[in-house]
Structure 1
């Protein structure tokens, strides 16, 4: 079922895994920042639109994590137990199918907001939004579970104790799986595509009929167009087998490079588009991002002296204790016989990382190491406390400013012009 030969040497494998890990951590960090903004603002948690959006972002985080994990696992442990592989493939395929349905739900919500504004509050409630999310997971999970059931029916139970290269083809390789996969993909994409087309046309006609709020209708139409673009990007994964076949036929010697490039452009990079083309475009979300970033920028701008002192203390400490370690250990064969090696050891020790790759053995060297560790703890702890206090000060100041602006824009009580003031008696 799987080849036992490695297709990449160490350098190529390291570069590919490094690129995947770097992009995965970067994209998940950006997506995680949007999730953080969502849970920090109670207004977002009461809006079905943002609930569906953050579900899409969380789904992308989970899918990207599993995809990168499977790639790294294929190099570190090429063959794993089929049962564990079935679990990983189940999560990967389910999260991949969630994205189109989530986009369809977001398009329908925008359609109701524009074309049925009086019924939007009654139809699009928070409870129904979470029910829709549960339904999306059920619809996406059912075909994946049926794939495992087909494997149980068509293959002996002993196959689940075998070891395979973990890939979708390792689980869904029978003709029954292939037919079901094609049918599920066609039905799902047809449903989502028709949903986007219908909602877009209705919103477009509503925008033409609108006389008071044309800007809102046009913005909703553009939002649905962005959903269609995201759906098109999601559909790239379905064209991957075709592009792989064509490119591998033309360039058979570049097999691993072609497969890795398609993996980047169809599984990793599209996960960055959800926050960029939707989250940043939303004015309310963008304002919250600016407030959060401005607080950090203000703290950094007012803490440059403390940061400079921290770096200066670290540089002095590393220089002093590296020299002491070199003096005590240069005759010993422990890896501290050069100044650069001692600088590396001093940096690792003072920043309290402590890899343990280089360890002094003499009494003087151990005393220098103890002083380096204690000095690093004090040097790092003192400026960090000052920086944290400044951050708390500017954060409270920013929150107070936001509250004052909110109170000025939304007064708590506005007297009715038809009623006389309560404390003023009318003339007799």
Structure 2
């Protein structure tokens, strides 16, 4: 009798998985709707896609949308134990990993843009020109792809051709064949985030120094810049914790699959969804100009008409 109480029934496990799936779907749909609305707002006004900070912001949002779609599909496949061949799983995980890295790298670029705008205002127009924006996006994607390339090479050097035709429940842990691959992936992630954390802290200190020496009318802009960099630092911390999660999950996978699924689910909510819901808050809702345009398009122009009638 005690054994039956300690082990959950198959029905209760399946019911719990359905509840979790419904919660995730609601959150993902909300985030995707908000992100798509912001992306639409960005392309509706020329002033936005001529500004570096908005271009970087939309680059992060588009990457977040793709990442949420891919990881949500993987979550569905894992909860319902839908299998696929390893070669397809490899492609999906690599694309997911690429967009997972794009977000923190873009955050660092956005922090540097705020540093240049506040600490080097005279050089801002030249450094953040339209042509350099394109180069910046290419650099962001290039730096984000380096860890993915290393992962691909690590898999290619440790498996044979039959490995790619195995049917598996697709997770990143299935691509970690040996211990050194796990250490390599962890080391690359920690190196990236150490560099990005240093850049963000450097930018924060410099902006804080400018804020203290700024005149009364410039203090407001400097204070807002400090708040933005602080939010970026918090968002980056969540992303850093996310890259430590696979180490814990991989240790749990051979021990207990149910515990592994529970931990994976909580990590996905806290360290995958949560950091990506901060992007709309930092640049979408806190930016007055973008928020006004967003409210106009979200209400199908009714907000502007209402203001005109009141005036």
Match of 2:159 among 155, 159, 173: 155
Instruction: Please show how residues 65-84 of structure 1 align to structure 2 within 5 Å.
Output: 65-76=69-80, 78-84=82-88
Structure with the greater relative contact order (CA < 8 A, sep ≥ 6): 1 or 2?
Answer: 2
**Which residue of structure 2 aligns with residue 227 of structure 1?**
232
CA distance in 2, matches of 1:120, 1:203: 14
Scaled by the length of structure 2, the TM-score of the pair is 0.86
Instruction: Please show how residues 250-399 of structure 1 align to structure 2 within 5 Å.
Output: 256-295=261-300
More displaced 10-residue stretch of structure 1: 210-219 or 52-61: 210-219
Scaled by the length of structure 1, the TM-score of the pair is 0.64
**Which residue of structure 1 aligns with residue 148 of structure 2?**
144
SS of aligned partner of 1:155: coil
* Pair 1:181–1:64, CA change in 2 (3 A): same
* Pair 1:167–1:255, CA change in 2 (3 A): closer
Give unpaired runs (5+ residues) of structure 2: 1-9
**Which residue of structure 2 aligns with residue 332 of structure 1?**
none
CA distance in 1, matches of 2:126, 2:154: 42
Aligned pairs, how many? 297
Give unpaired runs (5+ residues) of structure 1: 1-5, 299-394, 406-428
| Native 8 Å contact 2:242 2:271 kept in 1 | yes
> Do residues 35 (structure 1) and 35 (structure 2) align?
no
**Which residue of structure 1 aligns with residue 182 of structure 2?**
178
Q: Which of structures 1 and 2 has the bigger CA Rg?
A: 1
**Which residue of structure 2 aligns with residue 209 of structure 1?**
213
Match of 2:197 among 193, 204, 216: 193
| Native 8 Å contact 1:8 1:256 kept in 2 | no
**Which residue of structure 2 aligns with residue 98 of structure 1?**
102
CA distance in 1, matches of 2:130, 2:12: 49
More helix by share: 2
CA RMSD of aligned residues (A): 2.8
| Native 8 Å contact 1:31 1:272 kept in 2 | no
**Which residue of structure 1 aligns with residue 17 of structure 2?**
13
CA distance in 1, matches of 2:74, 2:247: 22
> Do residues 25 (structure 1) and 41 (structure 2) align?
no
Which whole-Å deviations, capped at 9, do the CAs of 1:13-36 have from their partners, x for residues lacking one? 222222222211111101111111
CA distance in 2, matches of 1:252, 1:93: 23
* Pair 1:257–1:155, CA change in 2 (3 A): closer
Q: Deviation of residue 42 (structure 1)?
A: 0.7
CA distance in 1, matches of 2:252, 2:183: 25
